[in-house]
């Protein structure tokens, strides 16, 4: 599942979830998580003076509760959720056991690693929040586990291939980054369907433009 929503004039909330199990077993989990993301995000992040870190932790707490209730069982949901502040050029994020987020700037590519356990495991679990700066020209890329683990002839696409692609796309907007990566994955798979969900979410910032996109 991926989703994003504007929660104030300067903030965009986004999330990417990898729900464990088969789709027919998880059909109630995805809408429950999405509803919790949107309702709690709109409530907690609309105020200009809000503490974004505290709000993002609470958003994930609400999503965690919704996932557990909808699943009726333990259901691991690695999640990367963030709030992009367009005025400050920052992303306040929670990485609950998800594939690393990748931040590209003039210094190269850095990994936004896990700040807590996946959602859906413990009713009182709360991951920490961190803040990353997106300077002009920087881009943030978050991909599903199925993207990294896309396999052909026993070889995975891999996180390093995602990093290499991100380094090779300076100047591209978010939509172009998503399209380029999805195209690379399809070429790698020789246009065969992936065994797992392949979803890409990108945020790019330049001096003249702010853009957000997702594909999956």
Q: Give me the chain's average pLDDT, please.
A: 92
Q: Distance between CA atoms of 136 and 104, rounded to whole angstroms?
A: 11
Q: Distance between CA atoms of 131 and 133, rounded to whole angstroms?
A: 7
pLDDT at 193: 73
Q: At what angle do helices 29-44 and 52-71 cross, to 10 degrees?
A: 160
pLDDT (tens digit per residue) in 83-118: 999 999 999 999 999 999 999 999 999 999 999 999
Report the predicted TM-score, pTM, of the whole model to 2 decimal places.
0.92
Q: Distance between CA atoms of 83 and 92, rounded to whole angstroms?
A: 5
43, 62, 120 from 36: Cα distances, Å: 10, 6, 13
Specify the number of domains making up the chain: 1
Least confident of 18-22, 152-156, 169-173, 186-190: 18-22
Give the pair of three-digit tokens for residue 97.
Answer: 């056991």
pLDDT (tens digit per residue) in 90-99: 999 999 999 9
pLDDT tier at 202, thresholds 50, 70, 90: very high
* Structural domain boundaries enclosing 97: 2-215
CATH number at residue 87: 3.60.40.10
């Amino acid at each position: 599942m991926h989703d994003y929503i504007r929660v104030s004039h300067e903030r965009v909330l986004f999330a990417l979830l990898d729900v464990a199990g088969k789709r027919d077993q998880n059909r109630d989990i995805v809408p429950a998580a999405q509803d919790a993301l949107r309702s709690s995000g709109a409530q907690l992040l609309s105020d200009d003076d809000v503490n974004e870190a505290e709000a993002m932790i609470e958003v994930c707490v609400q999503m965690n509760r919704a996932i557990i209730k909808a699943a009726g069982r333990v259901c691991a949901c690695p999640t990367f959720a963030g709030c992009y502040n367009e005025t400050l050029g920052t992303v306040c994020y929670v990485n609950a056991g998800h594939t690393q987020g990748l931040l590209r700037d003039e210094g190269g590519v850095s990994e936004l690693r896990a700040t807590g356990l996946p959602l859906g495991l413990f009713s009182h679990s709360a991951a920490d929040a961190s803040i990353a700066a997106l300077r002009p020209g920087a881009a943030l890329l978050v991909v599903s586990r199925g993207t990294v683990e896309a396999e052909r002839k026993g070889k995975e696409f891999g996180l390093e291939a995602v990093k290499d692609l991100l380094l090779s796309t300076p100047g591209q907007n978010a939509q172009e980054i998503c399209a380029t990566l999805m195209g690379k994955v399809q070429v790698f798979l020789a246009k065969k369907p992936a065994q797992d969900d392949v979803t890409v979410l990108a945020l790019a910032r330049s001096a003249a433009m702010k853009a957000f996109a997702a594909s999956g």
